[in-house]
Amino acid sequence: MLKTIIVTPPMPDWVICPLPLLGPSILKTFLDEKGYKTDLADISIRVRYLNRFSLRKIIKLELFKDRERIINFLKDHQDDYLKKEITKLINLGNLTNYDVIGFSLYDNSSIAFVLCIAKILKEEYGKKIVLGGPIVSRSDFTDLLNFDFIDFLIVGDGEEPLLKVLNYFEGKGTIENCDGIFYRKAGKIHTAKPSIFSLENKSIPTFNTEDLKLYRKLNQNGLLIIPYLLTRGCRFKCAFCSEYENTSFRYALIEKVISDIKNLLSTYHANSIYFAEANLNNDHKYLIEFSKRIIREGLKFSWGGFCTIDSLDENTIKIMAKSGCRYVLLGIESASEPMLKKMQIRKASDVEKFKGTLKLLNKHGIRVHYLFVVEFPYETNEDFRKDIDFINETAKYTTTAAGCIFELLENSIIFLVPKTFDIQIRQKGASRYNFFDRFWEFDETSGLKWEDKYKRGRIKVELINKIIFNKIESRLIFKSFIKDPLYLIKKKISHPYTSYDVYFI
């Protein structure tokens, strides 16, 4: 029997993930049930724990931001110093002890790490390498198969494709014409439609308990957040979103969800559940029924996740809060109604409703993080001024917030029909190294060129985040210090691993 491990690769410091990934934990349970004993290695949290002190970096993550250096290494140029750091990562997961190594890609910035690790594992140890994960399913990463040290790429739900790949490695079956399995043969890349695995048949997640201990140590007050999936898809389709191909959605049976949550809370002694959906209130009736069921069962845990303003009336918020909801993440996107219309925001386009809902969430003890997107095509100074005004008006109801520059992503509506938005997308040259560029550059056909737009966006983000710090975060830092006098010291001397701690301190 092939020894198999699923790896969560390192992520750069700016990618904040205070909980383990859900996909690897579900795959482990599924494969174990099918007879393939599978291990997990969360190298990301192991690296963060080693690098937890601000003045001491055991693993030099900054090396993997050097585009030219990584490309040269992948082209077989000798780089002993970089190889030394890669070897540290391999040793952290004891990866040379396994026959098959699967990497779950959560963020584009992890690809450089994965390719460097995979290159050594294949060329020096003859290991079999499989890539999958959320970002592989969102965008076209088939070019990664042009690296001859990658054996397979899995697109979509990984359960059945990975099982078929393992069977294939053992000579028990074929991978041709199988959903979700991409591979290279005779110089040609073979693709397939993404694999879909029903929510009602999803295995309960199984986590590596030693890695969970590190999450608990790095989060404040021994906090342990466990991910779980209630629904798939989203009934909204905003113009910039590349997460889902359609607006349909599916949800798990509440009986199964409650049973799984009881199991997870009991097994791992978790404090909180993070529901890893695009939208917790995809189905308002389902959210209400689920919240009431938690109350009836007497389950005591905090929970939260991404949500939309749509359908969050006071009665719904009260029930959510009573059942343990303590935090929601909201995509406000813009406080300008003309910009919301351009973005095709249908989840709520009434800015006054935004403000009222934030007030209600605060009233019932549900903390809020919201996100602004600046420099969507043809954003004006007046549109941006409304964002600033919104932050000032809602600061006292907000826990955290952030602004970011609009990124044009594959498979989003605006990417697929750029003429509708009066933009011209700049083409990338064909290259297997395009993974360094997460988004696509574009020019406004009757407006700014990309260079000017991006420069203006960086200025706006710097300004908006400075206002957020002055109006929101500084107040919360003070409150946190009152509750825990050592809080600021911990944050100063130890790497500030997560911003989620403000939801619980």
- Banded pLDDT at 233 (limits 50, 70, 90): confident
| Strands 302-307, 152-154: pairing kind | unpaired
* pLDDT for 245: 53
- Banded pLDDT at 431 (limits 50, 70, 90): confident
Ranges 243-257, 347-361, 409-423: which has the least confidence: 243-257
* pLDDT for 137: 73
* pLDDT for 504: 56
Ranges 42-51, 82-91, 443-452, 468-477: which has the least confidence: 468-477
429-463 burial, b if ≥16 CB within 10 A, otherwise e?
eeeebbbeebebbbbbeeebebeebeebbeebbee
**Pick the residue with more confidence: 33 or 247?**
33
User: Is residue 365 pLDDT above 70, yes or no?
Assistant: yes
* pLDDT for 405: 94
Q: Could you tell me the CA-to-CA distances from 365 to 52, 59, 133, 318, 329 in Å, in that order?
A: 31, 39, 34, 9, 14
Domain boundaries, the chain: 4-190, 219-428+436-503
User: Is residue 219 pLDDT above 90, yes or no?
Assistant: no
- Banded pLDDT at 501 (limits 50, 70, 90): low
Q: Considering the chain, what percentage of its residues have pLDDT values greater than 90?
A: 65
User: Is residue 475 pLDDT above 80, yes or no?
Assistant: no
Average pLDDT over residues 465-494: 76
Q: CA-based angle 207:210:213, to the nearest 5?
A: 95
Average pLDDT over residues 121-148: 90
* pLDDT for 231: 86
- Per the DSSP assignment, residues forming a β-bridge with 228 are 275
Q: State the virtual CA torsion across 408, 412, 417, 420 in degrees, nearest 10.
A: -70
Q: Find out whether 384 and 376 touch, Cβ atoms under 8 Å.
A: no
DSSP character at residue 156? B
User: Is residue 462 pLDDT above 50, yes or no?
Assistant: yes
**CATH of 219-428+436-503 among 3.40.50.450, 3.40.50.620, 3.20.20.70, 3.40.190.10:** 3.20.20.70
User: Is residue 165 pLDDT above 50, yes or no?
Assistant: yes
CATH class of the domain comprising 4-190: alpha beta
Q: Find out whether 241 and 410 touch, Cβ atoms under 8 Å.
A: no
Burial of residue 489 (number of CB atoms within 10 Å: 0-12, 13-18, 19+): exposed
Q: Per-residue pLDDT tens for 298-335? A: 999 999 999 888 788 999 999 999 999 999 999 889 99
Q: Considering the chain, what percentage of its residues have pLDDT values greater than 70?
A: 94
- Banded pLDDT at 497 (limits 50, 70, 90): very low
Average pLDDT, the chain: 89
* pLDDT for 15: 72
Q: Find out whether 271 and 301 touch, Cβ atoms under 8 Å.
A: yes
- Banded pLDDT at 66 (limits 50, 70, 90): very high
Q: Find out whether 219 and 241 touch, Cβ atoms under 8 Å.
A: no
| φ, ψ at 379 (rounded to 5°) | -70, 135
3-state SS string over 300-324?
A: CCEEEEEECCCCCCHHHHHHHHHHC
As a whole number of angstroms, the distance between CA 388 and CA 436 comes to 32
Give the residue from 401, 393, 347 showing the smallest Cα distance to 369. 401
